[in-house]
Homo-oligomer: A and B are copies of this chain.
Amino acid sequence: MTTADARTPASNQNDEAGKSIGWHKGYVQGSRPDLRVPVRQVHLTNGKDVTLYDTSGPYTDPAIDTDVRRGLAPLRESWITGRGDTEEYTGRAARPEDDGLKHTSPRRSPLPERSGEGGEGLRNLDAVFPGRPRRPRRSRDGRPVTQLAYARRGEITPEMEYVAIRENVAPEVVREEIAAGRAVLPANVNHPEIEPMIIGNRFLVKVNANIGNSAVTSSIEEEVDKMTWATKWGADTVMDLSTGRNIHTTREWVLRNSPVPIGTVPLYQALEKVDGRAEELSWEIYQDTVIEQAEQGVDYMTVHAGVRLPYVPLTARRKTGIVSRGGSIMAAWCLAHHKESFLYEHFEELCEILAAYDVTYSLGDGLRPGSIADANDEAQFAELRTLGELNSVAKRFGVQTMIEGPGHVPMHKIKENIDLQQAICEEAPFYTLGPLTTDIAPAYDHITSGIGAAMIAWWGTAMLCYVTPKEHLGLPNRDDVKTGVITYKIAAHAADLAKGHPGAQEWDDALSDARFEFRWEDQFNLALDPDTAREFHDETLPAEPAKTAHFCSMCGPKFCSMKISQKIRDEHGAGSTAVDTEFDAEALAGMAEKSEEFAARGNRVYLPLVD
């Protein structure tokens, strides 16, 4: 948490006696006028402020007029152009097959006609993004234009300063971690809209939310809405995993409106281009798709280059085979051609492309276990060793890289995953899906996986890919996205606490102080999900006075443990940091004396302490 200047008041409640209660979007000013880091400024009823990390983007700033048809302002544009190492060029022309419309050109809108005004938010989006057209940008001379390259040569970019302020660390720490490959700052030069963030073991644990339509269901507007919804609740990055139609167009809408880095799996779109026939994939189609997406501004790409031909048979005796969609596509290709993976074979070429746009690798774990039975098996670890090899290659090309991890892993096998990954991949950031700690609870896999996620993040995972209640069952809706994000923010924060991240506990302390002092409104406003906390409280005690009452529904007004504790505090000194402390030194000394006396006399009956 940092001190902050609450520039733009966005009170979520009426003021009382001139004092705003609730929270505001605030900004911390950096070293240049266009470097202002957003924060969530929570105003407590005791007059104090708590400053929290904010991922919600300009949407929560009432001073900014957002319009999904126009997209967000290109915050980083001057930073990117200012470096002088990129140039605009005439990009690859969009083609009908980019949207899976090969057989039905020309492009048609898959959505209802636009109904006049743009004021309806996401209703009735046109298929083609109507915002300002833009020529793509890439490295001027083929040299990497990545944050890794800058960090290596000692430059602290505005992006690095931005995340340093967000994380409350020195900019030099950010630069060092990126230069060492222990952290990534995903920031495609064609996605100037993002508010930079960093993924690395020394920083706050991050959460990714997956969105994406599929062949079966959902629409562009739903996906854009899910993206803003996910970031509102705390998603640090969003992956657009769309399959089926309108992949290109959906992604354009998402990118232009996203304040967070966007990740994709280019293989999904490549597969659509060959009508779902994995054997018809080729390096050329894949390469074309990567360039298409890099020009749009995708910040990181999952690449399943570790699924190598010799590993495919290792999955034959598994309980659940290959459960990664990308992994199984590559396995199918390898089998069909009986050839080494084209991703593995062309990995260096791929590095050159990614380096020219600063697209970050997320090296996919295509052979991750899909069940408790398959955890930590040879297929999984053989691929991990290859990812380690590819990580070294990527670094050589100056490409930022993180490594994806499982999956389904029982608790006692989790630590081996992060320990191996850190050793094999030179401490590159680990980015794990859960892991799910049991298979028996479909409809609750946000919880089965939230358990594993918290643990693996404590032990070093830098980013957690959320799992929603619909995992294994269907596509998540808005409620599922929210539940998934909140569950994973809990896991991430629990890990921040366990890692002793500087400042992490201040949030807990502020909320616990509010709880102890019966400041209900402060509890709600500090909660990860203020709406639900307030709603649950009101279910039992709906009356407005109950929110300031010094009791709660658990014990009722007659007896209350908090009241007794406050009495103890009054009588035996010490106190809340919020109220003035009346220190009854004499009483405390008397009690302490008795306590010591007892200890001296009674310690004999104690069993020895063993640690």
**Which residues of A approach B to under 8 Å, CB–CB?**
214-217, 243-244, 271, 276, 278, 308-325, 327-329, 331-332, 335, 370-373, 385, 388-389, 392, 410-412, 416, 419-420, 423-426, 437-444, 446-448, 450-451, 454-455, 458, 469-470, 472-475, 477, 486-487, 489-491, 493-495, 497-500, 505, 507-509, 511-513, 515-516, 523-524, 526-529, 532-533, 535-537, 539-541, 552-559, 561-562, 564-569, 571-575, 587-588, 591-592, 594-595, 597-599, 602, 605-611
Contacts and interface: CB of A to CB of B under 8 A. Distances in A.
The 5 lowest CB-CB distance pairs between A and B, nearest first, are: A321-B565, A474-B540, A215-B556, A310-B595, A371-B512
A388 B609 CA distance: 10
A215 B322 CA distance: 55
A238 to B, nearest CB: 17
B438 A335 contact: no
Given A309-B594, A411-B494, A607-B423, A278 B559 contact: yes
13 contacts: A313-B572, A316-B568, A322-B565, A324-B561, A389-B606, A411-B455, A412-B497, A420-B611, A437-B494, A442-B511, A444-B487, A451-B454, A473-B536
Contacts of A572: 312-313, 316
A447 B444 contact: no
A558 to B, nearest CB: 4
B276 A559 contact: yes
B385 A329 contact: no
Contacts of A329: 559, 561, 564
Contacts of A571: 335
Nearest to A505: B372
A331 B564 contact: yes
A290 to B, nearest CB: 19
A306 to B, nearest CB: 12
Contact of A447 (B243, B331, B438, B447): B447
Nearest to A537: B473
Nearest to A469: B536
B320 A523 contact: no
A447 B487 contact: yes
Contacts of A609: 385, 420, 423-424
Given A313-B588, A316-B575, A321-B566, 15 more contacts: A215-B557, A313-B592, A316-B568, A316-B574, A321-B568, A323-B565, A335-B568, A370-B512, A392-B605, A410-B494, A440-B511, A442-B523, A450-B451, A451-B455, A474-B554
Given A322-B565, A539-B474, A568-B321, A526 B440 contact: yes
A474 B552 contact: yes
Contact of A508 (B426, B439, B500, B539): B439
B592 A494 contact: no
A444 B561 CA distance: 22
A388 B328 contact: no
B494 A595 contact: no
A527 B443 CA distance: 9
Given A373-B512, A594-B310, A497 B444 contact: no
